[in-house]
Chains A and B, each alone.
Chain A
Amino acid sequence: MMPELGKYAATVLSAYGISLVLLAGLIAFSLWRSVRVRRALAEQEARMQRHD
Chain B
Amino acid sequence: MSIWEYANPKRFMQTSGALLPWVSIAAVILTVAGLVWGFFFTPDDYRQGSTVKIIYLHVPSAMMAINIWIMMLVTSIIWLVRRHHVSALAAKAAAPIGLTMTLIALVTGAFWGQPMWGTWWAWDPRLTAFLILFLFYLGYIALWEAIESPDGAADLTSILCIVGSVFALLSRYAVLFWNQGLHQGASLSMDKREHVADVFWLPLLVSIAGFVLGFVALMLLRTRTEIRSRRLRALEARERMS
Contacts and interface: CB of A to CB of B under 8 A. Distances in A.
Contacts of A47: 239
Interface string A1-18: 101111111011011101
Q: Is the interface of A mostly helix, strand, loop or mixed?
A: helix
Contacts of A29: 96
Q: Is the interface of B mostly helix, strand, loop or mixed?
A: helix
Interface residues of A, number: 34
A1 B232 contact: no
A12 B53 contact: yes
Given A11-B51, A11-B115, A12-B53, A41 B231 contact: yes
Contact of A30 (B108, B218, B242): B218
A12 B51 contact: yes
A31 B224 CA distance: 11
Count class of interface residues, chain B: 35 or more
Given A3-B39, A44-B236, A15 B107 contact: yes
Give the interface centre of A7, A8, A40 by most chain B CB atoms within 10 Å.
A8
Interface of A: 1, 3-9, 11-12, 14-16, 18-19, 22-23, 25-27, 29-31, 33-34, 37-38, 40-41, 44-45, 47-48, 51
The 6 closest A-B pairs by CB, nearest first: A15-B111, A5-B50, A34-B225, A41-B232, A26-B100, A15-B108
